[in-house]
Amino acid sequence: MNAPLSAAELGKRLDYLLGPVLSSRRTAAPLAQALSALDRQQQDFVLHWIEVIDRSNYELAYQFAAAAAEALGQLGASSAEAWIIHAMDAYDREGLFRGSEVFRQFDLFRRQAADSHAVTFAEYAPVLELFVCGLAGRRLKLEIADEAKTDTETLFLPPRIALFPDKADNCAVYRILAVLLWAQGRYGSWQADLGAACAARPDPARAAALLAHFEGLRLEARIARLFPGIARTMARLRGGEPDPRCAGLVSANATVGDSLALLDRLYDSFNPPALPWSFSLHPGTNAVRSARLARERSELAAALAALMRQHPPPESAAAAPEGRFSIETGQSADADGAAEFELRLDGRSVTPPAEVVQLIDSLLQDLGEIPDDCLQAAGGGGYREKDEDAEQTGDITPDGGHDGSAYFYDEWDYKRRHYRKNWCVLRETDIEPADDGFAVATLARYRPQIAQLKRSFEALRGEDRLLKRQSGGDDIDFDALVEGCVDLKTGMELPERLLTRRHKAERNLAALFMVDMSGSTKGWVNDAERESLVMLCEALEVLGDRYAIYGFSGVTRQRCEIYRIKRFDDAYDDTVRRRIAGITPRDYTRMGAAIRHLTTLLDAVDARTKLLVTLSDGKPDDYSDHYRGKYGIEDTRQALIEAHHAGIKPFCITIDQEARDYLPQLYGPANWTLVDNVERLPLKVADIYRRLTA
Amino acid sequence: MVTRLTPPGAQPLPTEARLIRNEPYYEAVGGEIALFEAARASCLPVLLKGPTGCGKTRFIEHMAWRLQRPLITVSCHDDLTAADLVGRYLITANETLWVDGPLARAVRSGAICYLDEVVEARRDTTVVIHPLADDRRILPMEKRGELLQAPPEFQLVMSYNPGYQSVLKELKHSTRQRFVAIEFRYPDASLEEKIIRSESAADSATASALVRLAQMTRNLKGNGLDEGASTRLLVHAAKLITRGIPAAAACHGAIAEALSDDPEMLRAIDEFAASVF
């Protein structure tokens, strides 16, 4: 093992790494002094992580460095890594203060880590998120909070649960809490104004706690009928029967009204027992809920208008068609299970598209029924689309101060339904190669995975093709032989070429990878993107497909930028690897112009199948511009349609949890994929490419 | 001189044509039976679209039984060539012998020819069905210089799962625009329950729990799963349960492991199962 670094050597490194947050009063010397006591391996570990954390935030890296020497002594290498990741998570989610706090309180982390029966939010959230998504049919956000509560779009859950000695039971409590919170929206807790009901009491906090308890009992009963398995777990863990005075809440058709009535009766006399899964009522729910209702109503109106256009009234209609939609619910909406309904237009049954089904289902969950005024198709003067920012008029001319290296691209304006000519100014630049050994480190880190990827890619290499009428080969060509026999019969010579041979055909495929370099990729996403690209290149070299990599970013339509990382003709060499390492987060994502530019590049390549694969972390967006929102999505969609027309197949790999809301509209239902976990991105990208072209 | 050759695969293929005598169980979801019969009466080919395990193959078996026509099924794979469909010459004792492929046999006998998962076949093979699938209704057999005219009883049916992500496995427009498409979705809850009960003899509580489980997995489509649990998987699970396997184990084996390899996803699906049973 190498000798430990001295305090002076460490001081120099730390000065360099933490420079931006050091000053004459806060120097690296005490940190260096503390770290000099560690062995070399530990020192390298610390320096490595300071470098990594630096990429997110210098102050956070300083806090880590300050705590590292003592923490490493207590935690040991593997749980130190968990501690660092926990702190960085806290930083990503809740900001610098929380991140630094976790670094300072490593002792708390150590004690909590020692409770092997405890379940933390971070460890269970990935499973719970899937669970809740399956339950609700729409993605609900999960977040950490001190008390469990929900505003019907986000479920807030405690950071850790260690109530029971068995870890599985603690997981079950998380699950029960999530189901109860989901059930608030599903079974109409918020159909009454709970905030007002509590505020009317002398002690609103007490009223809220009672009401939360009653609603909990009512929802437990609902859930028990739907999910017998959860009911058994609840019965086992709850400890004690519910108070007999609350028995009315258990009946199948109890509503939030019954809970309110019980509050009236028991306000003075009842003290709620502590349950393992108690939650509080979120005060902001009504605002969130009415915003969603308004949004969904307007979306439904627009969707119904589109549906009406697809179903023109029959010629034979006796009366003038009114264009009235109606809904017949097959099952009353407050019964257990999913509501089923039939949509009718002027009495004729119509099959609603998935979008309408989802909206109606969501409204049914919120309102219990669909009021007639929700079923009016948008049209005439009755409906205005969401307010967009005032339209920006052209404030630059295409030639205004731009040199010859710029490209001009049209942009689609969905409101005008035509292109804005030469609207975006785009430049191509080289990326600055970085010499930080990133590629080497990635290759080392993922060596086994890369070997496996290469093997699976080898299997793809070139499809077998059967060459006929060969003079040498491994099988008989019967067509040739039959003809040969005929020739022979008629007195001619038997031909020589009577064999078939398998030949590996070239995969006639060109792929262009378009990498999001927007500011939002800063930190782990950027690392994951770069690692993905290194692994992808390794795998693609085996396959021999032609491929290119470009990054995109920019600020406003006057400065769209495309960064060359690897052109189709560039070999995958050290320069390319260093360019990948040099990918840094820049500005915004004006996707339309980037797609149009790369479509032009891809169009010039001669290949049978052309793929444009986008690696993205969010929806199209630009700075102080009307590009955000629907305008950007529509322009991107239009650019993708243009790519389609050029014979290019677009595909999108995203890590945006909300991608489901807009990507199907952009790429079609099957041409995108969501990688849930950023850390998995490097392992997934090459695999997705393989599936895509298999 | 070659007089005797038995290369691999040279034996005439066993006939797959079959007349279905007993009614295959099928629950109509919408107007698909009427649509199929109308398409058949008009000599139009049919494309069955839908996710795996939602009843496409069962539907076509049911229709073959209803119409009392033999059904010839070809499961398409990526080495399926035009000759595999139309036919080829074989060599017997110093003479050549023509053997019809399944498509040619179906045309000659006025059967229903069902090309299952047609996108799996090599792209060039779909081209041989083009003249059969428009108003010409002919099958050119180049090697024999013969042109087969399909009788009115002949019907071409293909199935296609639009959920595949591979760009190389999309159906060409020149092919798909020749067909009347019938879209299959998963049946609604009550119907799906009925199907599970009659396919597996499971009780009503088991069937309804399975349907609820399936709905939860279908909610995850696009959020980690490529497809939700199909009706077929539910039937598998129900069959295991009626044989005495505990529900959790049956769902894990028949549903969770069939849908995903991802440990978190497997755990989520197991927890769905633990919740509904």
Chain A residues in contact with B223 (beta carbon < 8 A): 130, 133, 139, 660, 674, 676
Q: Once rounded to an integer, what is the mean pLDDT over residues A503-512?
A: 74
Q: Give residue B248's pLDDT.
A: 94
**What mean pLDDT is predicted for residues B19-31?**
88
Structure tokens at B170: 């999309």
| Least confidently predicted of A14-18, A462-466, B253-257 | A462-466
Query: What is the mean predicted confidence (pLDDT) over A107-118?
Result: 77
- Three-state secondary structure readout of chain B: CCCCCCCCCCCCCCCCCECCCCCCCCCCCCCHHHHHHHHHHCCCCEEEECCCCCCHHHHHHHHHHHHCCCEEEEECCCCCCHHHHHEEEEEECCEEEEEECHHHHHHHHCCEEEEECHHHCCHHHHHHCHHHHCCCCEEEEHHHCEEEECCCCCEEEEEECCCCCCHHHCCCHHHHCCCEEEECCCCCHHHHHHHHHHHHCCCHHHHHHHHHHHHHHHHCECCCECCCCCHHHHHHHHHHHHCCCCHHHHHHHHHHHHHCCCHHHHHHHHHHHHHHC
- Answer whether A180's CB lies under 8 Å from A279's CB: yes
Whether A691 has a pLDDT exceeding 90, the answer reads no
CA distances, B215 to each of A141, A498, B69, B218, B228 (Å): 20, 57, 36, 5, 8
Confidence of residue B5 (pLDDT cuts 50, 70, 90): very low
What does the pLDDT average to over A576-603?
88
> In the prediction, which pLDDT does B158 show?
93
If pLDDT is split at 50, 70 and 90, which confidence band does B250 have? very high
Please answer yes or no on whether A130 and B94 come within 8 Å at the CB atom: no
What pLDDT digit, counting tens, does each position of A524-554 carry? 788 888 888 888 888 888 777 888 999 988 8
A316 confidence band (pLDDT: 50, 70, 90) = low
Measured CB to CB, residues of chain A less than 8 Å from chain B are: 126-127, 130-131, 133-137, 139, 175, 179, 226-230, 337-338, 340, 475-476, 478-479, 481-482, 485, 488, 609, 611, 649, 651, 660, 664, 669-671, 673-674, 676, 691-694
What tokens appear for A325 in the block? 């939609």
- Among chain A residues, CA nearest to B190: A340
Residue A284 has pLDDT above 50, yes or no: yes
B contacts of A229 (beta carbons < 8 Å) = 273-277
Direct distance between the N- and C-terminal alpha carbons of chain A, in angstroms, rounded to an integer: 47
* Residues of chain B found within 8 Å of residue A468, distances taken between Cβ atoms: none
Does pLDDT of B167 surpass 70?
no
Examine the pLDDT at B238 and tell me if it is beyond 90. Answer: yes
Section A504-511 average pLDDT? 72
DSSP state of A460: T
Confidence label for B19 from pLDDT (cuts 50, 70 and 90)? confident
pLDDT band with cut points at 50, 70 and 90 for residue A383: very low
Question: Largest Cα–Cα distance of chain A, in whole Å?
Answer: 115
Q: What is the pLDDT of residue A83?
A: 85
Confidence tier at A359 by pLDDT (50, 70, 90): confident
Partner residue facing B168 (CB), from A139, A481, A609 = A609
- Residues A553 and A615: beta-carbon distance below 8 Å: no
Residues of A in contact with B212 (CB under 8 A): 226, 337
A198: closest CA among A187, A210, A189, A186? A210
| pLDDT at B27 > cutoff 60 | yes
Average the pLDDT over each of A61-75, A161-175, A669-683, B183-197 and give the range with the smallest value: A669-683
Which residue in chain A is spatially nearest to B211 when comparing CA positions? Answer: A337
Average pLDDT, chain B: 85
Distance separating alpha carbons of residues A364 and A341, to the nearest angstrom:
10
On whether the CB atoms of residues A244 and A306 are closer than 8 A, the answer is no
Minimum distance, in Å, between the CA of residue A228 and any CA atom of chain B: 6
Interchain CB distance below 8 Å, A229 and B2: no
Token output for B63: 């229709």
Number of Cβ within 10 Å of residue A251's Cβ equals 11
Instruction: Choose the most confident range, by mean pLDDT, from A103-112, B11-20, B128-137.
Output: B128-137
Domain ranges of chain B: 32-183, 189-276
pLDDT of residue A335: 47
**A504 phi-psi bin (left φ>0, alpha ψ -120 to 50, beta other):** beta
Does the pLDDT value for residue B45 go beyond 90? yes
Per-position DSSP letters for A379-444, written without gaps between them:
-TTS--PPPPPPPPPP-S-TTTT--TT-EEEEEEETTTTEEEEEEEEEEEEEPPP--S-HHHHHHH
Q: Across the interface, do A660 and B220 touch by the CB < 8 Å criterion?
A: no
How far off is chain A from B70, nearest CA to CA, in Å?
31
**Is-above-0.90 flag for pTM?**
no
Contact at CB, A670 and B215, closer than 8 angstroms: no
Give the minimum alpha-carbon distance from B191 to chain A in angstroms, rounded to a whole number. 12
Sign of CA dihedral B185, B190, B193, B199: negative
Nearest CA in chain B to A613: B167
Residue A69 has pLDDT above 90, yes or no: no
- Distance (Å, whole) CA B251 – CA B269: 9
The token pair that represents B90 in the structure block: 């074989």
Question: Long-range contact list for A114-118, CB < 8 A, 24+ apart?
Answer: A115/A162, A116/A167, A117/A162, A117/A164, A117/A165, A117/A166, A117/A167, A117/A170, A118/A160, A118/A161, A118/A162, A118/A167, A118/A170
Average pLDDT over residues A123-133: 90
Q: So what's the architecture of B32-183 in CATH?
A: 3-Layer(aba) Sandwich (3.40)
A437: phi > 0 → left, psi -120 to 50 → alpha, else beta; which? left
Q: Cβ contact (<8 Å) for A674 and B222?
A: yes
pLDDT over threshold 80, residue B96: no
Determine the average pLDDT of the residues in A7-27.
86
User: What are the structural domains, with CATH classification, of chain A?
Assistant: 7-114 (no CATH), 120-147+162-266 (no CATH), 287-374 (no CATH), 438-458+507-693 (3.40.50.410), 464-504 (no CATH)
Q: What three-state secondary structure class fits A475?
A: strand
What pLDDT sits at residue A156? 92
Asked if the Cβ–Cβ distance from A226 to B167 is below 8 Å, we say no
Residue in A124, A127, A128, A130 to test binding to B, most B beta-carbons within 10 Å: A130
| Residue bearing the bigger pLDDT, B7 or A340 | A340
> Least CA distance to B97: which residue of chain A?
A482
Interface test with A, best of B124, B160, B182, B223 (most A CBs within 10 A): B223
Contacts of B275 in chain A (CB under 8 A): 175, 179, 227, 229-230
Token look-up 């993922």 returns A446
- Of A131, A139, A693, nearest to B166 by CB-CB distance is A693
Determine the pLDDT at residue A315.
Answer: 57
pLDDT at A313: 64
ipTM of the complex: 0.81
User: What is the model's pLDDT at position A387?
Assistant: 37
Q: Would you call B264 and A482 a contact, using CB atoms and an 8 Å cutoff? A: no
Residue A502, pLDDT score:
67
